[in-house]
Chains A and B, each alone.
Chain A
Amino acid sequence: MTPERWLRIERLFDAALRVAPAERERWLRRSCDGDDGLFREVSRLLACDDWAEREGFLPPPEASDRPGDLTSTWPPPGSGRRSADEEGGASPAGPTGGFTPMAAIRRGTGEEPSRSDEHQASARQRLLAIIGLYIGLALVMLAWKYLVARDPEPTQAIPYAVLIATCLAAAVLIRGPAPIPPWRLRLLELGLIGMVTAVFAFSQYQAMLHFSLRGDPLRAQFAMNHRVLIAAILILSYGLYAPVGWRRLALVVAPIAVAPFATLFALYLRHPAPMAWLGEMDQDHGTSPLALISFDAMLLLILAAGSASGAYLISRLRRQVREARQVGQYRLRRKLGAGGMGEVYLAEHQFLKRPCALKLIKPGVESSEKALARFEREVRLTATLSHPNTVEIYDYGRTEDGVYYYVMEYLPGMNLAELVERYGVLPPERVVHLLRQICLALREAHGVGLVHRDIKPSNIFVSQRGDVDDVAKLLDFGLVRPSTPAGSPRLSEEGRLLGTPLYMSPEQATGRPDLDARSDLYSLGAVAYHLLTGKPPFGEGGTIAILVALAHDPVVPPSRLRVEIPEDLERVVLKCLEKEPDQRFRDAESLESALGQCRCAGGWGPAQAARWWRDSGHPVGAKAASDAPLDPSEAPSGKRPPAGSAE
């Protein structure tokens, strides 16, 4: 095969992956245009991809434990070594762990609150509890036989010893670090129960035979009764510890219940002579064997039923607990991410069924009054803003057990930090398009006296809302403070520097108390710089070095890093990045109009945005592609311009 042909295969493979699986073959055949060899080759690769996906072929090697750092670029331009965030990992939150959980709102990549893991853990725990019970039972039996009853056959200890050894081995296996597949756990569980039943049946057989041979039918009867009691314990414990469906429970419990009688029956058949006392009971003692045995059987039946209903009850409670991952009227779906003090879940309103992002603050995580106050303030302040480019707050509340939460719109898409990390630097016209939207959101916030204070790429989300692509949303007003001069500016109540220093304004970095709206404009300029060049204006060295550089060093003009950045846009960005607030734009509105006057301003519109999302391979865009007609290169058109953008 030649590299040229391989390139064709590569393109087709790539495009085919974005076509819905059902349509793939048809699409591929059409695209191959009669070239059967090509079709076969790509189909084979697609099948292999499918197989690799299913079988987990070549999974990502374990991420090695390297210390996190400020940025996620490697290799370093200068200093020592630096590392990336774990792949696909959390959004690049600042080293100080700023309050940025909303940055984690994104689609698809968030981890499930791993129900199966929890399930596994509890299955292991249950099994361990059962094993402990069995070992205890066997030990008590042995102790009783040798210390209290004092007359066993020495060989009677063997089955118990085997049982204890097996149980210990199983316990070691379960406690080991290696994950055990669920079916193997289940098998282990069934094997253990079968073994316990067999051991007790065997010892019942032995004991009853032993006493019968000694001509002691009374002790033999006792042995039978003990055996029934033990069966009762087994049945109950299984029902309690293994809350499975009633069918499986019945399958397990029935043999345990039947075993004592089956053993007795077997004993009677094999040794009719010594067991003759059973038949003679009627005459000698006035009790028929039927009466004796049927009572035991009844007892076990009642217990089995009780155990089954107990198991049912417990499994229902368990399910309820799981469903109690419900907060207020919202049902939590999966975890989207976690930040400094809260976790963000994809949630759904009970009745509206509208997907939304729910941010939880657990009392256990941060219970200080101040943290809660900050949380409440964030919600209230954000909720006062209604600009379409500000994230919308739907709801806010506190559950009975003191968990604060608030609910905001769920944004499919990604934040700007991820956008740059995944897709590289943005074309200037797109930067203008996105920033103008944020300017409008800021205008409203500044207008009511709010300074965001933590504008950074991970706090700006690019999303598809309605039919509109590339809607920018400003998130996380966690650090918002009324801009009236009050309170300490850069240290939070906990005395930490909040937020990442990479996008801080110089006045913020030096801790000047009189922050105003122009501090946000600086940060926005820094974001623009990052979008255009792939890195923040000052990113070298540690936190301290950055803070110092922010205050003193001149900015390297973006065009020095990337020549094609238009001169007029660069001027706007550099003006935002002026050290002196007075030399920046007066307000967000004038920044917006300056951006609008850039020559590239009209260059990115709905059509470009739509094409980008479709071609990006991002889940959101990919979905659109698979819904679209067969040919992925066909562009849908006729979209409205994004809300908030003037053109």
Chain B
Amino acid sequence: MRAIAVIAGGVFRDSIRDRIAYGLVFFAVLLIASSFLLARLTAGQDVKIIKDLGLAASSGIGVLIAVFFGIGLVTKEVERRSIYSLLSKPVSRTEFVVGKYLGLVLTLLINLSVMVAAFYAVLAVLNYLAIPDLRASWDAPALDPRMLVAFALIGVELMLVTATALFFSTFSSPFLSVALTFAIYIIGHFGEDLKHLDNIVESQTLAQVARGVYYVMPNLAALDVKSEVVHGVAVSAQHVLAASAAAGLYIALILVAATVIFSHRDLK
């Protein structure tokens, strides 16, 4: 456990100072801030635009960091040979994989927190400037705390995407790992379409294959409650817990698989 914590701390310290990650988070914050100006150009939709854009920017930038940094966790270490020194210390390959994963998750959650703070700051300014009649026309209050549920589920999604990227990077090239992780991300968001493909295709074989893929892929659509919270629709605690538990199980399985593969790999 100690080695896992130390490695996670090392990843956090290294990645939190990475200029690319800084740049991406800065870009997201800028995007969220600029949504305020965009919102001023619209009538009655201002708060919705800020919420839509803020949630989308946080999720999108978070996924980019999760994919590219998640893949780099292993591939960069192996390509640059920094892993040689690390694994010659009293560190097992399992501790390496889990420590790397937790370190990046910690970084992602800090980055997400920065984006959440920027998001609520912009909404607070809008709320302050809005006249009471305008506030009354909104679907949900500007500073609706229920939006934190959407951010929490974005966090869970980023954890799952990071685990997927890490898994692919234990046995494939960086380019292929990026492609496969994005493929899983996209399929994960269109799982329901795969499940009900028999509604639009005649081939039963194809429909069954699609249903099989649906059961193997993570259900990322269940973690996406952005449109609900923007419109002030309540998201049940049961849904949040079930979606998070399923994602947690998927993350655990994928990390076990990553560990098993990585433990048997020659680091040439």
**Is chain B a partner of chain A in the same complex?**
no
- CB within 8 Å of A: which residues of B? none
Where the two chains meet, the residues of A that have a C-beta atom closer than 8 Å to any C-beta of B are none
